[in-house]
Amino acid sequence: MRKALKIVVLAKQVPDTRNVGKDAMKADGTVNRAALPAIFNPEDLNALEQALRLKDKFEGTTIEILTMGPPRAAEIIREGLFRGTDGGVLLTDRKFAGADTLATSYALACAIRKIRPDLIIAGRQAIDGDTAQVGPQVAEKMGWPQVTYAEEIANFDGKELTIKRRLEHGVETVACPLPMVVTVNGSAPDCRPRHAKLLMKYKHAKTVTEARELQEDPYLSLRESRGLTITEWGVADVDADAEQLGLSGSPTKVKKIENVVFQAKEAKLLTAADGDIDSLMKELIESHTLG
């Protein structure tokens, strides 16, 4: 039986919110993207590693990264190529801008219908929005089953994937037929490092937009001879309904943004005396934290 898979990995370029300085937030409470370096969303890297492992195991498997964002998000496609993907598509168009999760998953689903993969793997959530909605929404739009919180894609028998899920109280192993969507947890293995030879091969890969913006382009002929053009799709390329895209396709309305700073003072100091422990137990039971 042929076990080659056609995989699309959904990945997002995000501001690095893990090491934030003072200027991470703007006065209006929104993220100051200019002050934070743009990185490959961490859990999408976990997803990519799962895809690469399938490619290692099942000959003929191909991986494409699908990402939506501004022209500079082409970096995400290159990062994939450096690690062993076969290519990717950057969805970029002013009409995609301002999308919430619904409009994003609509745009992605339109592109996926064009690529026609067997399997979609995505990170559980992105560190800028933390919604964990895009993966599941894509599954719904495609009408495919989904397995969330995946930690390991353990097996593929030609029809079904066996997947280990990391849940709050343990691990659950499930089997699911293709085509399907898997979203991967941060507890899954880290992504492999960039490969030296792939890095040198693909470092010149660029989208048409990127190439156009270069002052001078000494590697133009190299890109042509080595086939290093990254695919870029706009709205017209994915047959999308403009109404369902970008701001107009986004029902989410931000009511208020609050800057929450955790206070160490909220901790409660207890002694090891029986009385203290007893009252804590009662408090936890009453608040339904326990039991």
Partner 1 sequence: MANFFNDNTDFQYHLNHPMMKKIVELRERAFRDAATCDYAPVNHQDAIDSYNQVLSVLGEICGDVIAPNAESVDHEGPTVVNDHVVYARGTQENHDALKQAGLYGISLPRRYGGLNFPLVCFVMSNEMVARGDVGFENIWGLQDCAETLNEFASDEIKQEFLPRVCNEGATCAMDLTEPDAGSDLQAVMLKAHWDDAKQTWLLNGVKRFITNGDGDISLVLARSEEGTSDARGLSMFVYDRRHMAVKVRRIENKMGIKGSPTCELVFTNAPAQLVGDRKMGLIKYVMALMNAARLGIGAQSTGLSEAAYREGLKYARERFQFGKAIIEFPAVYELLANMKSRLHASRAMLYETTRFVEIYKTYETIAKERKLEPEERNEMKFYARLADAFTPMLKLFSSEYCNSVAYDSLQIHGGSGYMKDYAVERLYRDARITNIYEGTSQLQVVAAIRHVTTGTYLTQIMAYEGMEYCGEVEHLHRELIEMRKEYETVVAAVVEKADNDYIDFHARRMVEMAGHIVLGYLLVTQACEEDEYRRSAEVYIKDGRAENRKRAEYIHSSDPKDLELLKMSVSATTV
Binding-site ranges for partner 1 (CB under 8 A): 19, 192-201, 203, 218-219, 222, 226
Amino acid in the structure at residue 219: Y
Pick 174 or 200: Cβ nearer partner 1: 200
CB-based burial label for 269 (10 Å; 0-12, 13-18, 19+)? exposed
Amino acid in the structure at residue 15: P
Q: How far is the CB of 82 from partner 1 (least distance, A)?
A: 9
Q: How far is the CB of 205 from partner 1 (least distance, A)?
A: 11
CB-based burial label for 206 (10 Å; 0-12, 13-18, 19+)? buried
Q: How far is the CB of 13 from partner 1 (least distance, A)?
A: 18
Is 47 in contact with 80 (CB distance < 8 Å)? no
Pick 43 or 93: Cβ nearer partner 1: 43
Is 101 in contact with 133 (CB distance < 8 Å)? yes
Non-local (6+) Cβ contacts of 123 within 8 A are 10, 11, 12, 41, 42, 43, 44, 45, 46, 47, 135, 183, 184, 186
Pick 116 or 197: Cβ nearer partner 1: 197
Q: How far is the CB of 60 from partner 1 (least distance, A)?
A: 21
- Rounded to whole angstroms, the Cα distance separating 82 from 75 reads 10
Pick 132 or 198: Cβ nearer partner 1: 198
Q: How far is the CB of 198 from partner 1 (least distance, A)?
A: 7
Pick 102 or 198: Cβ nearer partner 1: 198
The widest CA-to-CA distance across the chain, in whole angstroms, is 79
